[in-house]
Chains A and B, each alone.
Chain A
Amino acid sequence: MLQRCEACGSFAYPAREACPSCLSAGLAFVDAPRQGVLLAETTARVPSDVYFRERAPWRIGLVKMDCGPTIVTHLHADCVEGAPVRMSFQLDKSGQAVAFAHPEGETPNMADDKQWREMTADPKFRRVLVTNGRSMIGQEAVAALKAAGAKTVFVGVAEPWRPFAGEQLLRGQDGIEIVTLDAADEKSAADLAADIGGKVDILVNTTEYVRPGGLLDRRGTSIARDEIDQAYLGFINLAQAFGPAMRMRGADGINNSAAWVNILSVHALANWPAFGAYSASQAACMSLSHCLRAELRPGGVRVMNLFTGPVDTEWFQTVPPPKVAPRAIAQAIVSGLRGGLEEMYVGDVAEEIRQRLGANPKALERELDR
């Protein structure tokens, strides 16, 4: 995204108050064409910044965008001077948006580039903990992460004495390790972290506890308590058990800790009374995720929130389509990690709520009340 002048149409970078061509103040951020040419390349061998010094040599370059501006950018190793490049903005380890140049076409093992991997949290070669392997989302996530080249996927299973659908499939596979984890139990999370906390590079929180009902159709607080126990306190237990070691290991060589993924209901953003108490539990988790993001940032570990509408699982049986397939969520997890994203909206419902919330939150509140 770059600023484009609403009057003369020219693009501006870095961000300005007024158009450098015509002095108009109407500069809106829009999706800009990504193509450019690498004008010059510099290799910093002894950078002054400690982060880059540890990773030196580090290549940066100057790209002339086809749409106008010239941008200082991080470079993929396969970018050569004078050749066309494809630009994107990425979040670096400190959470800042920075420019990154890729070669225009595909090159071998393109995603394994050292500088690119700093900008992303690609599961390839990494060790991942999927916290709840009982759910469809959990099992699809395991499969997708394994297919994406994760070295090991640890799969948390609460109450291991309880059999579950899909268990045999998980047990049979190389690189998939079933571990006992009841995220809602402080001790269980701590015990597992004692075992594997030093080798979890990506944590995918697949806690799922969906129950219908708001306030008046329920009796008492026991279901609400379960919702808070599972989703909110479970989140806290996981964060306290795994977060500190992940934050310490943000620069731990190639297999460094890289990301924390939450799967949240988009109704965390706007309450859906039919699942009203559940929505509230998700809102609490979303708020907590922002806290976690801030606390993990000093270690260079990303927090990605993936927002979804109703999922095609048992507890949303009564909800009419469109619903999100667990597999679509799993694929979004992988693509989000590969892209180094902080936020994703999966499916039509999630995307629609995001847009409507921006356009008219009170109207959205009224519409969800049906």
Chain B
Amino acid sequence: MQSNNLLELAGAVSSGAVRVVDLTFTLSPDFPVIVLPPEFGQAAPVRIQEISRYDGRGPAWYWNNVTFGEHTGTHFDAPIHWFTGKNLPNNAVDTMPAKDMIAPACVIDCSAQAAQDPDFLLTVPLVEAWEAKHGRIPERNWVLLRTDWSKKGWRDYSNLKDDGAHTPGPNAAVMKWLVEERGVIGFGTETIGTDAGQAGHFEPPYPAHHFLHGAGRYGLQCLCNLDQLPATGAVIVASPLKIQNGSGSPLRVIALVAST
């Protein structure tokens, strides 16, 4: 690629010819986190503590101490997060190839189905139907599952019942197929987790984690504004914090979209 093409891109971003869509929720203590049974270790919630705010603690400056678990807010999952990816090379956020942080996305709109059924599952036939309309999913693309889940209030968003969360996601077959037959670089959702709320009962449990990370691919979750993306053609920039041997991190996810 010629360097003036890059400058052209920068110009297009600046002029608005290329739209930048922020797919990130604000990292805040109010945002729901994953709830595991209490006997397991829990993700530390997001905490923001003032160091000073133009006051006696620091007269001219405002800054905070921030603490959070690796899997809080809009966040990235690296292969090392799951046992299936634990022995892969360069499987953590600090060692993953930087080039994997920029990739195109296919957005599959299942918002209508998810509105009907909180346990809606993406299946291979549904993706094949999407491909019939938009073309085959190219290799090393993100597949983003649009459910409009990010537009809900927090209670409906986490949708916890006595038997756990009820939120949409992929079934096991489609995850295996996307990884093995389509070579996706990763899978992204609007919900807490790349897997469905009830995915612990699937075979294998948590198939998105199982297949993606087992093949060295990535996950993105708690995304928003997927409704502003075209079915194909958006480019995702997702660079997690470079945490030493980190299994994931909150991050700013943006999409570059050519204006039509």
Contacts and interface: CB of A to CB of B under 8 A. Distances in A.
A226 B158 contact: no
Contacts of B35: 162
A163 interface: yes
A184 B67 CA distance: 12
B247 to A, nearest CB: 14
Given A185-B29, A186-B50, A188-B29, A161 B45 contact: no
A282 B187 CA distance: 44
Interface in B81-136: none
A187 interface: yes
Given A185-B45, A185-B47, A161 B158 contact: yes
A222 B44 contact: yes
A163 B160 contact: yes
Given A182-B29, A226-B42, A162 B160 contact: yes
27 contacts: A160-B154, A161-B32, A161-B153, A161-B154, A161-B155, A161-B157, A161-B160, A162-B32, A162-B35, A162-B158, A162-B160, A163-B155, A163-B160, A182-B29, A182-B45, A184-B45, A184-B47, A185-B29, A185-B45, A186-B48, A186-B50, A188-B29, A222-B42, A223-B41, A225-B44, A226-B42, A229-B47
A287 to B, nearest CB: 21
A195 interface: no
Nearest to B29: A185
Contact of A187 (B29, B155, B160): B29
Contacts of A161: 32, 153-155, 157-158, 160
B143 to A, nearest CB: 27
B49 interface: yes
Given A161-B154, A226-B44, 10 more contacts: A161-B32, A182-B29, A185-B29, A185-B47, A186-B47, A186-B49, A187-B29, A187-B48, A188-B29, A223-B41
A49 interface: no
> Is the contact region of chain B dominated by helix, strand, or loop, or is it mixed?
mixed
Contacts of B49: 186
A31 interface: no
A110 B44 CA distance: 50
Contact of A222 (B41, B155, B158): B41
Interface in B142-193: 153-155, 157-158, 160-161
A84 B84 CA distance: 82
A369 interface: no
Interface in B5-40: 29, 32, 35
Contacts of A159: 32
Contacts of B160: 161-163
A186 to B, nearest CB: 5
Contacts of A163: 155, 160-161
A103 B49 CA distance: 53
Interface string B40-69: 011011011110000000000000000000
A222 B68 CA distance: 12
Interface in A181-206: 182, 184-188
Contacts, number: 39
Contacts of A229: 47
Contacts of B155: 160-161, 163
Contacts of B45: 182, 184-185
Nearest to B50: A186
5 A-B pairs closest in CB distance: A161-B154, A161-B155, A185-B29, A161-B158, A161-B32
Interface string A171-185: 000000000001011
Contacts of B153: 161
B144 to A, nearest CB: 23
Contacts of A162: 32, 35, 158, 160
A209 to B, nearest CB: 10
Contacts of A182: 29, 45
Contacts of A188: 29
B60 to A, nearest CB: 22
Contacts of B32: 159, 161-162
**Taking each of A187, A225, A226, which has the highest tally of chain B beta carbons within 10 Å of its own beta carbon?**
A187
A330 to B, nearest CB: 23
Nearest to B43: A222
B40 to A, nearest CB: 11
A89 B154 CA distance: 51
Nearest to A161: B154
Interface string A128-164: 0000000000000000000000000000000111110
Nearest to A164: B160
Nearest to B153: A161
B37 to A, nearest CB: 12
A112 B35 CA distance: 47
A207 to B, nearest CB: 15
A185 B155 CA distance: 19
Contacts of B41: 222-223
Nearest to B155: A161
A182 B155 CA distance: 16
Contacts of A187: 29, 48
A337 to B, nearest CB: 31
A184 to B, nearest CB: 8
A46 B219 CA distance: 75
Interface in B218-259: none
Contacts of A184: 45, 47
Interface in A214-229: 222-223, 225-226, 229
A186 B155 CA distance: 22
A180 B29 CA distance: 12
A222 B29 CA distance: 18
B58 to A, nearest CB: 16
**Taking each of A159, A184, A222, which has the highest tally of chain B beta carbons within 10 Å of its own beta carbon?**
A159
A223 B153 CA distance: 30
